[in-house]
Structure 1
């Protein structure tokens, strides 16, 4: 269990995060230019957001991909000094759990090991 401390607060800009499940079809958009390894997708319910390219099977240039893993883009709001537990790190983002049990993604650059 890796404990981390927030060195910069993070506030989500996405109040309605995308979610998809293994086998779901998603419409593909542009690759992220700020964070490598993320692609803009639209889910079957019309929700738009960023997803890890590793979670989607697609041919380059194809407008549609298939999810190969469940994914939820929920971000976790944090404040400076907050302690979180690392679940996984992927493409410059970290999936963490706070002391209240809430789970979400934060930019890895906003947290440091304790």
Structure 2
């Protein structure tokens, strides 16, 4: 699906977290703006938001978890009028690809369907 950016988005995270399936994670608060995201810290100390669906929480210690898939929190910086190809949707964010071939996350509410 193609979408057009109607509101520019600039990432607030210059060093986005990333993890691989099986990595241990420390978990914090759930996001109140975008439900389904949890504050996550990786073993290297980097911290950011990750989808709750990508993490298996430890049953005995809810502040710990294990990644159940590979993940990168890289967000696309967009400008109004940019055309993106949507790869997937999760928790009110699109994983998308811009015209340069760069993949990353953008908030669903910053784009409209291409017509």
Shorter-normalised TM-score: what interval? over 0.9
Name the counterpart of 2:22.
23
Alpha-carbon RMSD across the aligned residues, in angstroms, is 1.0
Bigger drift between 3-12 and 57-66 goes to 57-66
**TM-score, normalized by length of structure 1?**
0.96
Tell me the SS of whatever aligns to 2:12: coil
Give unmatched runs, 5+ long, in structure 2.
none
Name the counterpart of 1:76.
76
**TM-score, normalized by length of structure 2?**
0.95
Offset of residue 60 of structure 1: 8.0
How many residues were matched structurally?
113
Displaced runs of 4 or more, over 6 A: none
Asked if 1:101 is matched to 2:111, the reply is: no
Deviations 1:58-86 (A, max 9, x none): 13861210000100000000000100000
Asked if 1:39 is matched to 2:34, the reply is: no
Give unmatched runs, 5+ long, in structure 1.
none
